Amino acid sequence: MLLRLSRLSIGLAAAAAGLMAFGPPELRSLGGDLALALAAAAFGLWRVAVALDRRLAQAVAAVAPLTLGAASLREAEGAVARAAAEAPSFEAALLETAAALRGELGARAARVYLLGGAPGQLSVCELIADRPGFRSPARALAPSSPLLERAAREQRVCLDLPRVLAVPVLRQGVPVALLELTGLELTIDEAALARLLSVARDALDERATQPAAVSRLAHRRSVAVRPSAPHVAVGAGAVPC
């Protein structure tokens, strides 16, 4: 606002200077006084605006960043465990757990992938959260997603904060799904984050081995796939895309 007033004063000062130079002789003296006064006002407003901007920047820099610690994430552990346990199906448990983690950690986006293929040649298809039951076409996991590939290969949580984190989900020791969170801009205590992700992973691993989930996967394997539909070879214990 002050900068706008400063620019307005400069414009008026220029108009007054024009009046002084080209106006009627009886108004030239008045134009000179107005030009001088408006130029001084513009300079004063500009200085005040600069000083206020500096103070505001210092105040923002002095505010300590929000840190998510053990106390902040204690309730999150229960929310994540409930999301995995109470979902009506294994795929729903994956999606709801990813959404819960996104909300608790302040991530910009959360995605869920089902794994297929043989070890060393894994492929993924993304579950579409806003269209239950829909999946993206299968694609090779590596090298397009090195962090996801490493999480699946090493069967452990992999982090590249604040850009991305990947959580593998196992069934009987075989990775069947991956959770990916991106854009984690908040400062998070490492120990608290590790505990939260461990809770999420244990809960999903348990859902993956429950009879309902296993029987549903077996039913999908028995369904014939149309020739035009994408198909991914299924390794031992892997979920077909």
228 confidence band (pLDDT: 50, 70, 90): very low
User: Is the Cβ–Cβ distance between 171 and 208 less than 8 Å?
Assistant: yes
DSSP 63: S
144 confidence band (pLDDT: 50, 70, 90): low
The predicted pLDDT at position 132 comes to 75
Read out DSSP for 107-168?
-SEEEEEEEEB-TTS-EEEEB-TTSTT-BPPPEE-TTT-HHHHHHHHHTS-EEETTTEEEEE
- Collapsing DSSP states into helix, strand and coil, what is residue 171? strand
Domains of the chain, residue spans: 2-62, 67-222
161 against 211, higher pLDDT: 161
Rounded distance between C-alpha atoms, residue 54 and residue 57, angstroms: 5
- Distances, alpha carbon 195 to alpha carbons 42, 70, 80, 92, 180, in Å: 58, 9, 12, 22, 17
Nearest-Å Rg of the Cα atoms of the chain is: 31
Rounded distance between C-alpha atoms, residue 193 and residue 182, angstroms: 14
- Residues linked to residue 160 through DSSP beta bridges, in sequence order: 164
The predicted pLDDT at position 97 comes to 96
> Which one, of 181, 182, 185, 214, lies nearest residue 197 by Cα?
181
The predicted pLDDT at position 138 comes to 87
For the residues 109-133, what does the mean pLDDT come to? 86
What is the CATH number assigned to the segment(s) 67-222? 3.30.450.40
The predicted pLDDT at position 126 comes to 92
User: Is the Cβ–Cβ distance between 170 and 178 less than 8 Å?
Assistant: no
Rounded distance between C-alpha atoms, residue 75 and residue 105, angstroms: 12
Is pLDDT of 147 > 80? yes
For the residues 21-42, what does the mean pLDDT come to? 66
pTM over 0.75: no
Rounded distance between C-alpha atoms, residue 152 and residue 63, angstroms: 39
Least confident of 3-17, 112-126, 146-160: 3-17
167 confidence band (pLDDT: 50, 70, 90): very high
57 confidence band (pLDDT: 50, 70, 90): low
